[in-house]
Amino acid sequence: MAETHQSATRLTLECVAGKDQNRRIVVDERPVRIAHAALQPNLAVSELTPAQGYIIARAEKGQLLLDAQNCLLPVYLNDQEIKAANMRDEDVLRIGNSIWCIRPAASLGERFSDLIGLEALTDFKFSEVFSEVFKKHTQEDMEEQLITGTARHTPALSELAVGWGKPWLFARLLGWSALLALVLYVAFDFFRNIKLIPGLIFVGSFAVPFSTLIFFLEMNVPRNISIFKMMQLLFIGGVASIFVALIFFNRLDFLNSFFGASAAGIIEESAKLLIVIALMGKTRQYNWILNGLLFGAAVGTGFAAFESAGYALETMLGYNSVEAGAVLILLRGVTAPFTHIIWTANSAAALWLVKGDRPFSWNMVQRPVFLRVFISSVVLHMLWDAPFSLIPLPLVLDLKFVILGVLGWVITLRLIQAGLRQLSDARREAGVTTMSLSASPPGLLPQPDGDTQRETQQVTPP
């Protein structure tokens, strides 16, 4: 029975065959409408067109109560056409040519998926995505990788080979910038020339964050955002978000009194997202989830880099020791890919999932699919700054940071998957057949067509 697998008032429908294969829809005791993405982006079924109406579903006593009175597309339960029926564990539901079953959900990973409202990873393979990192690439390859988002280098939807990108340039930049920071530190240690300190602070603070940002640029499969736009968001967004956060800290002092250091999670995540909205919220040009992910990563990178530089200077002056500041930069560099960059990237991607090609409006932040991800970023940040520890570890100081960092990236990868599914759905709706990898235009990351899954997303072709 369903009660043995999951809550009696919370059931999960999974598509086991058809256009929406592996997509899951979570239904509880509240009636919900299952429809086309244009009508119901959170519970989208590709088989239904906007003109074909919707299906009402709710969970009750381990069964799924279905009402298809308002659906013009035939709906079948166990090969019998229905207008209203109760679906149980062993039953098979057919909507058009898609087959759906009630899916037992009991694992920790699945509960985490339900909690944040994002589909579990189904086709991400670490070894495949990062397979290009250790391969040889020419200087021309590196230049081509950064030529993106210009009038001549923005591919049309029909030209995209939609699938997981294979980033590699970020690893090169990380190695070079880390080497440069080491050279500056050794040079200062040898010459004791104070003029080297600004360079050490700048390179040390920006090296890892910027390299991580390049990863997000490489994962932006639509390739419609230029390096110039990204740098604008990094510097302008980084400075502006710090300024707004300082205002919030000043005006919301009661949060500091109540939460202590953890108040930064509420204040800083809100400030960074507000700047993303202020800079890019009104645009209708960049309407993909992956675009929002990159915008958030850029602002988060700027915030992280400028904050690290400030902390390094404060430490050097406070302890009268360049070594103390250098150690701080090292620690913040190691943890940079797991903090501000992904927290803001996740929040912005979730907002773009709701926003689509529409200008930003405040009712968008009330949508559960956004709130779940944004709150997860706030909570991860608050726990990161919270004064408790688990098990001491070298370099990262504590196991707590490892766990929180991994959770942040799990959400990031699921949002990338949602973005890829959005692109794939848009291509299908536009009548674009899967592009041959051999036909992918220069500058694109050739990948197999990826029908990644997402239960709550908005499909908005440009």
- Pair 184, 196: CB distance under 8 Å: yes
- Pair 372, 116: CB distance under 8 Å: yes
The residue length of the chain stands at 462
Q: Cα dist. 235→57, 214, 232, 290, 352 in Å?
A: 47, 15, 6, 20, 21
pLDDT on residue 41? 61
What's the rounded Cα separation, in Å, for the pair 122 and 190?
52
What's the rounded Cα separation, in Å, for the pair 74 and 421?
26
What's the rounded Cα separation, in Å, for the pair 437 and 443?
13
Which DSSP category does 440 fall into?
P
Return the bridge partners of 393, or none. 397
- Pair 85, 77: CB distance under 8 Å: yes
CATH of domain 2-106: 2.60.200.20
pLDDT on residue 43? 64
Dihedral over alpha carbons 177, 208, 270, 294 (to 10 degrees):
80
Helices (H) and strands (E) in the chain, counts: 14, 12
- Pair 376, 411: CB distance under 8 Å: yes
pLDDT on residue 109? 61
Residue listed under structure tokens 């990563």: 297
Residue listed under structure tokens 């495949």: 128
Alpha helix segments (H runs only) across 55-149: 108-116, 126-129, 139-146
Give me 239's structure tokens.
């400075």
- Pair 85, 66: CB distance under 8 Å: yes
| Tens of each residue's pLDDT in the chain, 462 residues | 333 344 446 788 888 888 888 787 878 888 888 887 666 665 678 888 888 889 999 988 888 999 999 999 999 999 999 999 999 988 999 998 889 998 765 556 666 776 787 887 877 889 999 999 999 999 999 999 999 998 888 998 888 877 899 999 999 999 998 899 889 989 988 998 989 999 989 998 999 999 999 999 999 999 999 999 999 999 999 999 999 999 999 999 999 999 999 999 999 999 999 999 999 999 989 999 999 999 999 999 999 999 999 999 999 999 988 889 988 988 899 899 999 999 999 999 999 999 998 999 999 999 988 999 999 999 999 999 999 988 888 766 799 999 999 999 999 999 999 999 899 888 877 776 444 333 333 333 333 333 333 333 333 333
What is the residue extent of each domain of the chain? 2-106, 126-439
What's the rounded Cα separation, in Å, for the pair 127 and 121?
15
What's the rounded Cα separation, in Å, for the pair 242 and 232?
15
pLDDT on residue 40? 63
What's the rounded Cα separation, in Å, for the pair 243 and 306?
11
With b meaning 16 or more CB within 10 Å and e meaning fewer, what string describes 258-275? ebeebbbbbbbbbbbbbb
pTM of the model: 0.77
Give me 257's structure tokens.
């009194």
Cα 161 off chain centre by: 20
Closest CA relative to residue 7, chosen from 116, 88, 85, 104: 104
